[in-house]
Every structure is written in C-alpha cells, then in structure tokens.
C-alpha cells in the first residue's frame, strides 16, 4: 500500500532541472534574430523631458533603433476588470507623456544586435530636462484627501475600522502608550532580475516573463496592444523568486513588446539590478502611530492605529498596515485609519506580507512596550488579550491557535528563564537579549482551474496556470495529483506558468497551495470518473457491462467495490484495452478571498522568539537564535514549509537590522541601488532557526485543511528582534532598520 505523499517531507520535484541549469527563466529563452533592448532611465525625479538626442546612439554599429515617445508606436492604457483581472500598480503606459515623476522612469529604449551594444547606445542618449525639485521627504504627513480614496484594487475608506470610542477610552485608561513606528522603503531583491522576452508571430504576442501572475499580465498586455485576449500568451516556467515585486506587470514588458512589434524581431529586455530599485516597485515607507490604553492588569481598553505611507505621484497601491489590527487582540474600543503622502518615487507594490508585515511590526512593538510599562511578561499580555471571536467581523475564527503557538514557542525557546531587566542576561561574556512577538496572515483561496490526465503508460499529468516562485508549487501539485491518482510522484508531470493552461491563481498572498487543492482534486475526480466510464464501456474489459457506480478507484487501480481490491486493475491497463492514450478531467474552485459575507474569519497565526547577543565594547549585535511556531493549517510538504518560514525569518533579520532604500534628496535617486549597498541578510547573518508547525487542519479553506505559509514568517519577526535589542541594550529603536548608531546612544 503506497503511503500518501501529503504531509511528507518531499524534495522539490523541479530540483534536478534547477541544479542542472535546465530550468528556463524569462531571459533564458533565445530565438533566431533576437535583439536586445536596454532602457534609458531619467536622471531627474521630477520635471519634463525637453529634448532627446539619439544621434550618437543611432550611429553605433549594431544598433537597430532608439525608441521614444515619437516612434515607439501605440501603447494603450488598461483598465481593471472584474475579480482579480487587470491589476497593475503603474497604470501609465511607458512613454505616454514627457513628464518625469520618478528617478529612472523610462524615457527611451535602445535596441541592438547584442546586449552590450544596446547598453552602450542607451548610455550615449543625451537628454535635456526642465527639472523641478523632487519630493522624497521621509517625514510622512497624510496628503489632504477625501474620506474614501481609490487604491489599486478598490475604493477604500480611510477610517478603516472603528468600534466603541477609542479616544475616550484611551483618555480614561490607567495605562497609556503612544508611540510612532517607522519602516523604511524596502526594495525587492530576488536573485532573478525582471526580464521580458517578447515574440510576435503575425498578430499573436508571446511573452516569456518573470511573472507571479501570468493571466493578469496577459489581460493587461492584450489591452495595451489592443489585442483579443487569446492573441497573447504569457509563459513563466520558472521564477528566481519575486517577493511580490513580480505580481503585477511593469513598464519594461510593454516596452519590449512594442520594440519587437516595431522591428519585427524577438526582443529581450533584462532590467538591471540598479533599475530594479527604480522601476519595478518597492515596499512603501510607513509611519505608524499606535496608541494603546490598558488597565493596570493589562487588559486592553483602547487601540488606535493611524498610519501613513508614501506612494508614487500617479499610483495608489494600498499598504494595508491595518490588515490585522482589528482582529488580533480583544479590545472594545478601536480605531484604524490611514493616509498617504505622494512622493517622487516609482510605484510602491506588494512585498512579502504587504501591509501586515510593517503593520504588525508597529502593533507588536507597541504590545511589547506596553508589557514593559505594565511590568508583565509580553507573552502573558497577549494571553490576557486573546479574543474569543474576530471582533472586527463579529464571527468566529475558523481555526485560531495562537495561544498554543506561544506555549510551544516559549517551551522550545526556554522563555521561562528570561529575566526582564535590561542587560541582565549573559552568556560567554556576551549580553543576551530575548524578545518575542505574535503574527498573523490571511488564509483564503483565489479562484483556480486545473486539469488532470491519466495516461496509458501509468503516468499522470497535472496542469494549472499558476506559477512556482521558487516556493515549491511544482512539488505541491505533484503531491496533490499523486494523492488522488495513486501515481507515484516521479511519474507525475506538472505543467504550470503558461496562459495556455487552465487559469490558475496568482502566486500571491500565500494563497496558491490553499487555492489549488480543490481544483486539482476536482480535476482528478473528473478524470477518474471518465476512466470508470471507459472501464465499463470497453468490450472485453473485466468491468464490461458494470455500472460505473459499482466500481472503485484506489491507488491507481480499478476494482468492483463488491469484489474488493484483490482483483484490481491498474488504470493504464484499462486505457490500453480501450486504445486510449489518456483521459482528462477538469476542475474548478471558487475564491473565498474577498467574500463579503464570510461565516468564519480565516487566518494563519504564529509567533517568534528571538535571542540577540550584544557586545557593547565593539557595538556588535547578532541574532543568535530564533524559535518560530506556525499555526498554518495542515502542512502538505513540511520540508518546503520549513524552508519557507526559514527564508522569511532570514528576510526578517534583514528587515530589522539591514534593509532600507535611501533616496537622494537632491536628485530623488535611490542611492543604494545595488547589492553591495542595499544590504540584505546573508548566510553569515543566519542563526539556528527552529521552526515548528502546529497541526490544526483548517477545513474552511479546503478538503486537506491546508493554509499558506509564504509570507507569515516575515510578520512579527522585526518586532521580536527590536524587543530583544531593547532587552540587551536598553535602547528602543522605533525606526527600522536598527543601526549601530542607534545603539551607541
């Protein structure tokens, strides 16, 4: 009896392709006659282009064209569609006007026979500007805006959430905390650069693109080129990650497609690392005021969370820092509001755990500070304020086990040995700091379609037009198909990342796994039903003249229920006898995300316990140990799951101690726009990370009880680290990242 692949540590099925270099990323596709495009970015952040001098560039041998507003041809605007269609953070088509609104905005495009020539040509394009002073101020004050504002996804009330009377309750509260927390602009730095390879065949456009959402990209590009949707195909076989930066289309993609159209040749455009700091999004800078009122015993009586974030001049990505605020703790009086401040920066966009990650940094930091003020243990403070239901929606949680997370985390970490006084814990001559925080993230489903085939050689194929951003989606799909069909993992072919496949979910919101379970299961059931019909309809079949209802399918074999599995026949035999290569089933499942009337509040939960070591003599701060516990439903692949959470914790170390994008006040340029100056956590920064999963399947999400785990690991970790820093050093840093100069005091 083969054992189920669900819940087993399963190495990546695509691992061999990756380590052997056979996995093709967007810029690995090459075509005869393909040309290379390199954009010219504005070197001002505010103003107008007066004149472009392309003469020198055009004269270079091997240069095919230098495109700009006058000769790129038509690139139309796009609009949002129903559901999750038509989403883009930078809506303005490239080159639409001569206004420059952020540093690096594309104003021309050099195309040549080689990448090197195109780069050299782009470098000699001379631009004359009418320059105005850019606004990249880091101090954020909400712009004067109406109470309801348009955002990328939808209209939003700036009074995001309200219950009771938060002001009055705060004023009367025996214990009060009023602090402001700041998170910097952060830039996504996946190893794979953004890239487009655009190929026209008559009026059909194929895009090889690093995309976390191939169907959305297809819809947008079809609009931009005025094409029927079926005339555009987007292929993303592999992604060298994205972290949200590749969720929505960026301007390089229509530029590559337009250049390919104008020249009648395939065109490849790879966005440089430096340009990725300018033109492919970043996490917004946030400034968040948190006010907490509590009783002397630590019961919250009031919570106010007022946040402001920066955005680009034209676009309205919503950084929802209040995503978790209204349900994470029990509090009768609450108010959450937001405001936005326009800056001369490129569009902001989702970045791993958008909204909730900066938001929970603020609210969890405030909880830790309140615990100190009350002189009670920070875990205890959270236990006291654990809600019985989602007080925002007034409905129960589908599965909330945050207290069990704290319990297990505290035990594994040894939290009971913590002595709260600053600098009171030592080991091997180092000062220790211990901190903790809780976290949460959305658990829901996007709509999904999938197909499953059973084939006459005993193999199966599962197809779904979702993407694997490096997180293990190929493997999960293989596991799901194997579970239902009984075909061993090694004999399951997985196809994804292509708009010619059944429409799959965006690789966003950590929702792919939860979303694809019902669609793949339904597709497998449908393929099996088809197989059973074949079994009963094939002359000479042992099941001939039976009714399909009398048959069972288990572990890849067909048998008569009444006879038991003893005389079971492999499905490949059934197909061969019928002279069929394959049977196919399709499956489809609906979204739960965005449901206006949910019966349950569905989220994942978790916590981090962190140790830092501090050497005041040399101002050396290290994260030395992390214990993370996640309540994320049933984990389908614990190996990939742990890997996800470890990666998120590493990113959290970067968020707390290293990452920030700095804009030059004079030019508006992101000045640390390279991997030497934009410092992310690397192996040397990574301590032992002890990840644990609770096992509470959430049956509201799907039949396996699986929620997602890509993003939640980054939520809360920065608050845990800064609390540990305070415990070690006595310094409360409320503006990330923690810098040595903060600690030299």
Q: Tell me which residues are annotated as active site.
A: 711
Site for ligand MOS in 705-724 (CB under 6 A): 711
Tell me the torsion sign for CA atoms 94, 95, 98, 102: positive
DSSP letter at 284 equals P
Give the residue with the Cβ less far from ligand MOS, 249 or 508: 508
Q: Are 161 and 322 in contact (CB under 8 A)?
A: yes
Contact window for ligand MOS (CB under 6 A) among 1-9, 237-245, 559-567, 674-682: 237-245
* Contact status: 212 vs ligand MOS (CB under 6 A): yes
Our finding on whether 319 is near ligand MOS (CB under 6 A) is: no
Q: Which of 352, 382, 577, 608 binds ligand MOS (CB under 6 A)?
A: 352
Q: Which of 306, 315, 319, 350 binds ligand MOS (CB under 6 A)?
A: 350
Which residue number places its CB atom closest to ligand MOS? 244
The two three-digit tokens of residue 523, written as one number: 């597709």
Least distance between ligand MOS and beta carbon 662 (Å) = 22
What is the rounded CA–CA span in Å between residue 245 and residue 227?
A: 26
Judged by CB, which is closer to ligand MOS: 5, or 710? 710
**CA proximity to 391, closest of 656, 126, 106, 162:** 162
In three state form, how does the secondary structure of 442-500 look? ECCCCCEEEEEEEECCCCEEEEEECCCCCCCHHHHHHHHHHHHHCCCHHHEEEEECECC
Piece in contact with ligand MOS (CB under 6 A), picked from 243-251, 400-408, 648-656, 734-742: 243-251
Side-chain half-sphere CA neighbours of 488 within 13 A: 5
Looking at residues 495 to 554 of the shown chain, list those that interact with ligand MOS (rule: CB under 6 A). Answer: 508-509
Applying CB under 6 A, the span of 192-200, 260-268, 344-352, 388-396 interacting with ligand MOS comes to 344-352
Spatial CA neighbour of 512 closest among 436, 450, 437: 450
Based on the shown chain and the rule CB under 6 A, indicate whether residue 354 belongs to the binding site for ligand MOS: yes
Please report whether residue 351 would count as binding ligand MOS according to CB under 6 A: yes
247 part of the interface to ligand MOS, by CB under 6 A: yes
Q: How many CB atoms lie under 10 A from the CB of residue 597?
A: 6
**Cβ-contact 226, 254 below 8 angstroms:** no
Q: How far apart are CA 221 and CA 219, in angstroms?
A: 6
**What distances in angstroms separate CA 191 from CA 229, 243, 466, one per listed residue?**
31, 11, 20
Closest approach, Cβ 652 to ligand MOS, in A, equals 14
- Rounded CA-CA distance 571/568 in Å is 9
Of 152 and 212, CB closest to ligand MOS: 212
Measured from the CB of residue 281, what is the shortest distance to ligand MOS in angstroms?
Answer: 10
Nearer to ligand MOS, 288 or 348 (CB): 348
**Cβ distance to ligand MOS smaller for residue 381 or 648:** 648
Q: How many of the chain's residues bind ligand MOS (CB under 6 A)?
A: 12
CB of 250 to ligand MOS, least distance (A): 14
By the rule CB under 6 A, 244 interacts with ligand MOS: yes
Query: Structure tokens of 587?
Result: 């499956």
Cα–Cα distance for residue pair 460/530, rounded to 1 Å: 14
Contact flag: residue 239 with ligand MOS (CB under 6 A):
no
Site for ligand MOS in 547-586 (CB under 6 A): none
Q: Report the residue number, 26 or 621, with the smaller CB distance to ligand MOS.
A: 26
Contact set with ligand MOS (CB under 6 A) = 212, 242-244, 247, 350-352, 354, 508-509, 711
């Amino acid at each position: 009896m083969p054992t189920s692949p669900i819940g087993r540590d399963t190495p990546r099925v695509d691992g061999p392709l990756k380590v052997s270099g056979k996995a093709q990323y967007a810029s690995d596709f090459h075509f005869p006659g393909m040309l290379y495009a390199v954009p010219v970015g504005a070197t001002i952040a505010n103003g107008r282009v007066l004149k472009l001098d392309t003469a020198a560039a055009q004269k270079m041998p091997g240069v095919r064209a230098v495109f700009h507003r006058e000769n790129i041809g038509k690139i139309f605007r796009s609009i949002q569609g129903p559901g999750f269609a038509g989403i883009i953070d930078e809506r303005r088509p490239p080159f639409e006007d001569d206004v420059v609104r952020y540093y690096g905005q594309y104003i021309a495009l050099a195309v040549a026979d080689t990448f090197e020539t195109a780069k050299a040509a782009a470098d000699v394009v001379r631009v004359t500007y009418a320059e105005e002073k850019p606004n990249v101020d880091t101090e954020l004050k909400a712009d004067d805006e109406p109470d309801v504002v348009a955002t990328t996804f939808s209209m939003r009330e700036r009074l995001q959430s309200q219950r009771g009377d938060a002001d009055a309750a705060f004023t009367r509260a025996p214990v009060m905390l009023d602090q402001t927390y700041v998170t910097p602009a952060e830039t996504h730095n996946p190893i794979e650069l953004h890239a487009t390879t655009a190929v026209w065949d008559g009026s059909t456009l194929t895009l090889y693109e690093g995309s976390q959402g191939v169907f959305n990209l297809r819809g947008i590009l079809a609009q931009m080129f005025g094409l029927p949707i079926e005339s555009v195909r987007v292929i993303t076989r592999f992604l060298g990650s994205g972290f949200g930066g590749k969720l929505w289309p960026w301007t390089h993609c229509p530029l590559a497609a337009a250049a390919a159209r104008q020249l009648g040749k395939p065109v490849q455009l790879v966005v440089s690392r430096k340009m990725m700091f300018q033109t492919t999004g970043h996490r917004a800078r946030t400034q968040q005021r948190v006010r907490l009122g509590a009783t002397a015993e630590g019961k919250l009586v009031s919570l106010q969370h007022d946040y402001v974030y920066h955005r680009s001049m034209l676009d309205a990505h919503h950084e929802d820092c209040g995503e978790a605020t209204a349900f994470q703790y029990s509090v009768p009086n609450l108010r959450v509001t937001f405001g936005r401040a326009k800056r001369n920066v490129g569009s902001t966009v989702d970045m791993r755990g958008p909204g909730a990650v900066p938001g929970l940094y603020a609210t969890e930091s405030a909880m830790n500070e309140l615990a100190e003020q009350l002189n009670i243990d920070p875990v205890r403070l959270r236990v006291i304020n654990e809600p019985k239901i989602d007080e925002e929606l007034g409905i129960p949680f589908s599965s909330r086990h945050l207290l069990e997370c704290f319990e297990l985390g505290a035990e594994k970490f040894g939290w009971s040995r913590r002595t709260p006084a600053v600098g009171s814990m030592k080991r091997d001559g180092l000062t220790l700091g211990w901190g903790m925080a809780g976290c949460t993230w959305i658990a829901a489903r996007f709509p999904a379609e999938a197909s499953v085939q059973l084939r006459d050689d005993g193999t199966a194929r599962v197809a779904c037009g979702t993407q694997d951003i490096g997180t293990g989606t190929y493997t999960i799909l293989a596991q799901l198909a194997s579970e239902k069909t009984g075909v061993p993992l090694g004999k399951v072919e997985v196809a994804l990342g292509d708009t010619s496949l059944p429409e799959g979910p965006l690789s966003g919101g950590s929702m792919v796994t939860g979303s694809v379970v019902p669609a793949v299961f339904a597709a497998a059931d449908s393929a099996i039903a088809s197989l059973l019909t074949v079994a009963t309809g094939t002359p000479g079949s042992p099941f001939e003249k039976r009714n399909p209802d009398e048959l069972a399918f288990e572990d890849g074999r067909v048998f008569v229920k009444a006879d038991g599995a003893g005389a079971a026949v492999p499905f490949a035999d059934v197909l061969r006898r019928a002279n069929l290569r394959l049977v196919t089933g399709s499956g489809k499942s609906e979204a739960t995300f965005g449901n206006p009337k949910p019966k349950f509040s569905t989220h994942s939960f978790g916590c981090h316990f962190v140790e830092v070591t501090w050497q005041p003599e040399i101002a050396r701060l290290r994260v030395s140990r992390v214990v993370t516990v996640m309540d994320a439903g049933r984990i389908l692949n614990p190996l990939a799951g742990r890997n996800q959470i470890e990666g998120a914790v590493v990113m959290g170390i970067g968020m707390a101690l290293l990452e920030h994008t700095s804009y030059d006040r004079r030019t508006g340029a992101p000045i640390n726009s390279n991997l030497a100056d934009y410092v992310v956590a690397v192996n040397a920064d990574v301590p032992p990370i002890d990840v644990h999963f609770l096992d509470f399947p959430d049956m509201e999400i799907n039949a396996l009880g699986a929620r997602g785990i890509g993003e939640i690991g980054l939520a809360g970790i920065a608050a845990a680290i800064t609390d540990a820093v305070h415990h070690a050093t006595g310094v409360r840093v409320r503006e990330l990242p923690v810098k040595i100069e903060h600690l030299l005091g």
